[in-house]
Structure 1
Amino acid sequence: MSLLPSRLFLALLAGASALFLVDPVLALLADAVLLVALALDAWYVPGPAQLTVSRRSPPRISLGARAEVAWLLDNRAGRRVRVRVTDDLPPILRREGGDEHELWLDALRETRLGYAVGTVRRGDDVFGDVHLRIAGPLGLAWRQRRVPRSDAVRVVPGVLEVKQFRLLGLRNRLREAGFRNIRQRGEGGQFESLREYARGDDPRTVDWKASARRGGLIVRQYEMERRQNVMICIDAGRLMTQKVGERERLDYALTAALLLADVAGVHDDAVGLLVFADRVTRFIPPARNSLARLSDALGEVHAKMVEPNYPAAFTYLAKQVRKRSLLVLFTDIIDPLASAALVSQLGRAAERHLPLAVAIRNPDLEAVAETAPVDEAAVYRRAAAEELLQARAAALAAMQRSGVLVADTRPGDAVPAVVNRYLDVKRRGML
């Protein structure tokens, strides 16, 4: 532990030094007394065995949310102790409030002190060491101590938005949007009702207990299995690295993807996940995957400055998912060559699946195309932006002609755009 003089000690020392002009001997004596008092004060600072600290931190925080971190300080000394405490915060978080907290700890008691943190970006990191400054009983000296700690934390996308939509009664609004369970009788699936046996019924459907009670053959009727596959595909290539405000376009895609997974789960659909850039980086097969599992998986996704390899991604997907599925691809297209590759792959996928391309716009590019030029350079910038936007519009039109559904949306509108298209697919029975 390192020793630091307090402001009180420095003020007293300055006063003692001022006596030197009046009485040098008295000044030296005062300095000596202060130094002895400083040493004694530092000696009686509680050590590591008398004052311990631990930390409780959340392992997962939703992007855009606030969370509380708590220090637990246990004072085993026989007196009240004055302390200052702070800790090393990971760069993916920001502290809300002061960096250092000062308080008095009652004797032989554990004290809890909490502070709030906000999120900066997604990712994995750790809370670092805790730093204590402990005052002596006279208030002349501080002992500074570092307590080694390492507590993992993950900032995940979309969970806060999912909770907000739930609180707004999204599920009720989905039912009001027109979706109803489609009831068809057939083999397999969930039990629907009982009826009398008719010629041609499968003997395996006879309910013998009900038949015994009613004195005649009774068979079970079942609703056909209506669970469908929703495959969420995330393009984590270079176009998704662009920032809109403080968040990447990829963050908006991940939020919409997580909410789509939650809504699909409400309707008992199986949800899978495919993430790719220049190669496939993550795959979760369609199933009743929990929101926590999908959120953790999406929390590890980061956009890279590489061209997305659409042929490799769709070839991998074709091998892994053979059942007809709704393929929801979050991406954007600007470059004509990349657009041609994407249109080609989605067109092939449409032969087996129902593709939905969620094209997340570039607001900055649109702003350049709409800004009145003020000089020659601005004219060229606007012309280039307009050319790129025309190529993008042509690619989206080509997708629609090949049987691909398209949701062309601004980043902030991605959530309602995706959910509305999903509900439309369910309502119209397009799968």
Structure 2
Amino acid sequence: MADALTPSRALLACAGGWAVLGLAASHWPLLAQFWQGAGVALAAVAALDAWMSRRQPALRVERELAGVWPVGCWNNVTLRVHNESARTLALDLHDDYPTQWPMEGLEHSTRIAPGAFAAVTYRLCPDQRGKAAFGPAFLRVTSPLQLWTRLHRVGPDSEVKVFPDFAQLLGHTLSATDRRAPAAGAIRKRRRGEGTDFRQLREYRQGDSMRSIDWKATARRNKPITREYQEERDQQVVFLLDTGRRMHARDDVTTHFDHALNAVLTLGFLAQKQGDAVGLMTFGGETRWLAPLKGRTGLDRLLAGVYDLQPSEMAPDFTQAATALLNRLSKRAFVVVITNLRDEDDTALRAACELMSTKHLVMCASLREKVMDRARSTEVQSFGDALRYSATVHYLQQRRDAIKRLGIRADRLIDITPEKLSSALVNRYRAIKESGQL
């Protein structure tokens, strides 16, 4: 597809020279005839050149890029422009990329000999998750006589999927988790409750509980033998994720929803490493249901199922979400509700948690705006600061009252700023696994 014709610098220079000649002819009439002839010749040559450039040049464009990109990271895109014509082509190259993304390396000017190609690599940094489209590249090609440039769209459409930066979001949280994990050879004690699985028999070590001794094995081997246990596997971790309008709230650069999504993926990764199945259901907007699935397959499906998810402008319906989840889950699960609590939600959220708790172990995580904590800790220096401080304290008190009215146990409720959500969920999950509450 060709677009508007633009005069080149050469044509503008010729037109400028012709204008100077016309100025001279106004003083010396003998030059008038020459000036007119030059104008007719220039117009004829320019028209011929424009006519010759009307056709699509014999160019072929290939775009090389990864199909999946991490958000917030620089990624390379390579354009290969092949000249399949019989003449050398001079052109300016620009790609049709998502223009809201930061870019480095374009626009690029080049000359391509017949049968040759030029490769241009530039960088993009996607600033949000989801699908992104690339269109045919923009090629501004110089005409055969170098008097015009014409814009052409050449090349394929492309699409990339922008996922959360999984490596980065897991780095800090799981490094802290690894420090909590027992070292090789460490003594593991059986916790109270039924949520532990037998692992193996081994010789008694100093510090083992007397209740962990297997007396039959001790009698057979004539030395103390201890039962060793591990956290119970084959359980289910299901996230009930709010995609309503409150999750649009933003602290610094990242929205509350993206913090929540990062926490879901972090805990999902840890859960599948522990042998648990991971699932998710969204509410408050688009409803997505990913049934619990074990192993790397479950994690990959979770990541592919939420990478393009965005919060809506709808209000969440907690009771409807709880009912829908109960209808989908037959086996007991650890249900993690992630939302942004308001004081008017106390009755609805309490009813939803009580409904789900009849069958599942439920924990509620509410994201608190970090700006509120900042406002409360800022020194009051003016009347405006005093008004802001008092309003903030009043709002936070209403929030605490709403949380108390939920009637949820302290270890089943998290009220936290978004950037701390991942580590808090990981710690609660490990505590629940080790205590055998599931």
User: Shorter-chain-normalised TM-score: which range?
Assistant: 0.7 to 0.9
TM-score (norm 1): 0.79
Q: Distance in 2 between matches of 1:312 and 1:373?
A: 47
Residues 395 and 88 from structure 1, CA distance in 2 versus in 1: closer, same or farther, beyond 3 angstroms?
same
Residues 391 and 70 from structure 1, CA distance in 2 versus in 1: closer, same or farther, beyond 3 angstroms?
same
After superposition, give the CA deviation of every residue in 1:370-395 in whole Å (9 maximum; x if it has no partner). 453734x7655543432221122234
Could you say which residue in structure 1 is the equivalent of 2:15? Answer: 13
Q: How many residues align?
A: 391
Residues 172 and 297 from structure 1, CA distance in 2 versus in 1: closer, same or farther, beyond 3 angstroms?
same
Could you say which residue in structure 2 is the equivalent of 1:286? Answer: 292
Q: Report how far residue 58 of structure 1 moved.
A: 4.1
Asked if the contact 2:143/2:149 (under 8 Å) is kept, the reply is yes
Could you say which residue in structure 1 is the equivalent of 2:236? Answer: 229
Out of 387, 390, 401, the position equivalent to 1:394 is 401
Could you say which residue in structure 1 is the equivalent of 2:204? Answer: none
Amino acid across the alignment from 2:340: D
Q: Does 1:300 align with 2:304?
A: no
Out of 157, 163, 185, the position equivalent to 2:167 is 163
After superposition, give the CA deviation of every residue in 1:396-416 in whole Å (9 maximum; x if it has no partner). 345575465223322222222
Could you say which residue in structure 2 is the equivalent of 1:67? Answer: 75
Out of 334, 337, 343, the position equivalent to 1:326 is 334
After superposition, give the CA deviation of every residue in 1:146-180 in whole Å (9 maximum; x if it has no partner). 34754333333x2x1x2135667x76753431258
* RMSD (Å), alpha carbons: 3.4
Asked if the contact 2:277/2:298 (under 8 Å) is kept, the reply is no
Q: Does 1:55 align with 2:57?
A: no
Alignment of 1:180-191 (within 5 A): none
Moved more, 247-256 or 291-300: 291-300
Q: Secondary structure at the match of 1:333?
A: coil
Q: Does 1:81 align with 2:89?
A: yes
TM-score (norm 2): 0.77
Q: Does 1:342 align with 2:344?
A: no
Amino acid across the alignment from 1:281: T
Q: Secondary structure at the match of 1:94?
A: coil
After superposition, give the CA deviation of every residue in 1:336-356 in whole Å (9 maximum; x if it has no partner). 221232133224433432222
Could you say which residue in structure 1 is the equivalent of 2:125? Answer: 118
Could you say which residue in structure 2 is the equivalent of 1:242? Answer: 249
Q: Secondary structure at the match of 1:387?
A: helix
Q: Distance in 1 between matches of 2:178 and 2:12?
A: 71
Q: Distance in 1 between matches of 2:327 and 2:12?
A: 74
After superposition, give the CA deviation of every residue in 1:240-261 in whole Å (9 maximum; x if it has no partner). 1112223321111111111221
Q: Report how far residue 315 of structure 1 moved.
A: 1.1
Residues 401 and 21 from structure 1, CA distance in 2 versus in 1: closer, same or farther, beyond 3 angstroms?
closer
Asked if the contact 2:375/2:389 (under 8 Å) is kept, the reply is yes
Asked if the contact 1:17/1:31 (under 8 Å) is kept, the reply is no
Q: Secondary structure at the match of 1:257?
A: helix
Residues 183 and 286 from structure 1, CA distance in 2 versus in 1: closer, same or farther, beyond 3 angstroms?
farther
Out of 11, 29, 33, the position equivalent to 1:25 is 33
Q: Report how far residue 277 of structure 1 moved.
A: 0.5
Q: Distance in 2 between matches of 1:413 and 1:234?
A: 17
Asked if the contact 2:97/2:135 (under 8 Å) is kept, the reply is yes
Q: Report how far residue 286 of structure 1 moved.
A: 0.8
Residues 322 and 332 from structure 1, CA distance in 2 versus in 1: closer, same or farther, beyond 3 angstroms?
same
Residues 97 and 36 from structure 1, CA distance in 2 versus in 1: closer, same or farther, beyond 3 angstroms?
farther
Residues 364 and 192 from structure 1, CA distance in 2 versus in 1: closer, same or farther, beyond 3 angstroms?
closer
Q: Distance in 1 between matches of 2:321 and 2:57?
A: 57
After superposition, give the CA deviation of every residue in 1:114-152 in whole Å (9 maximum; x if it has no partner). 222222323334223432211134432212223475433
Q: Report how far residue 42 of structure 1 moved.
A: 4.2
Q: Report how far residue 108 of structure 1 moved.
A: 0.4
Q: Distance in 1 between matches of 2:290 and 2:351?
A: 24
Could you say which residue in structure 2 is the equivalent of 1:105? Answer: 112
Alignment of 1:90-101 (within 5 A): 90=98, 93-97=100-104, 100-101=107-108
Q: Distance in 2 between matches of 1:192 and 1:46?
A: 80
Amino acid across the alignment from 1:178: A
Asked if the contact 1:59/1:152 (under 8 Å) is kept, the reply is yes
Amino acid across the alignment from 2:234: R
Asked if the contact 1:330/1:358 (under 8 Å) is kept, the reply is yes
Q: Distance in 1 between matches of 2:412 and 2:254?
A: 26
Runs of at least 5 residues in structure 2 that lack an aligned partner in the other structure: 25-30, 191-196, 202-229
Asked if the contact 2:170/2:266 (under 8 Å) is kept, the reply is no
